[in-house]
Amino acid sequence: MSNLTHNIPEKTIERLSEYRRTLLSCHKQGVTHIFSHVLAGMHGITAVQVRRDLMLIGFSSDTKKGYDVKVLIEFINGILDSESVMNVAVIGMGHLGQAITKYFNGKGLKLRIVCAFDVDPAKVDSTIDDIPCYHMERFEEVVSAMDISIAVISSPTRVAPTLVVPIINAGIKGVLNFTSAPLNFPQGIVAENYDITTILEKVAYFVKESDENNDK
């Protein structure tokens, strides 16, 4: 990921996103204050890590009662969210594309999946989960018309490399690539390659290591 323009580490950004989801769920359940060690415990990390992350973004807590849940949510919003909603397009409306769309719909985030692209005639020009699906040929035109800044790639892996040029030409600023083909984009486009196989192989590796250790 190209990240020359900021001071907050990537991992802290990830955790802020995770803290916020937990805090929103606490808030919904009527919890008004939370201690760092409680928040940490819910994420399987140390209280020191939570305090360090919040210190990095300049948030300090009332230590007697813990963090004010609502104030902390607002504070994280100020860090993570842009002022206006950011529009997202999903490329490839197979199972993964549909899972992602369903997942985001109605979550009230500052990110909104506004349309999808596919080449399957059964999907093109139809509406899937309330999201219009267009032919990939129309990518540039639709991205411009709908003011889309982020593309999620959930196409078959073999298709992924053919998407790089249309994405650049359309002026997309951020890419989240779920296929197995790592994609490189020019500077100025934030790109994250995320292959599910990698994480599953990582879990398998540590299971194997843990087994071998127990056998000793």
Enumerate residues 6+ apart whose C-beta is below 8 A from 39. Answer: 19, 22, 23, 47, 50, 67
Query: Residue 212, CB half-sphere, CA atoms under 13 Å: how many?
Result: 6
Q: Which of 29, 121, 206, 215 binds a copy of itself (CB under 8 A)?
A: 206
| Residue 5-44 contact track with a copy of itself, rule CB under 8 A, x = bound | xx---x--xx--xx--xx------------------xxxx
- Name the nearest CA neighbour of 142 among 196, 75, 89, 65: 89
Q: Which of 1, 28, 30, 165 binds a copy of itself (CB under 8 A)?
A: 1
Of 61-120, which residues contact a copy of itself (CB under 8 A)?
79-82, 86, 88, 94-96, 98-100, 102-104, 107, 109-111
Q: What six digits make up the tokens of 158?
A: 């073999």
Q: Is 204 in the site for a copy of itself (CB under 8 A)?
A: yes
Q: Give the residue with the Cβ less far from a copy of itself, 48 or 200.
A: 200
How many Cβ atoms from other residues are within 10 Å of residue 204's Cβ? 10
Of 155-184, which residues contact a copy of itself (CB under 8 A)?
173-176, 180, 182, 184
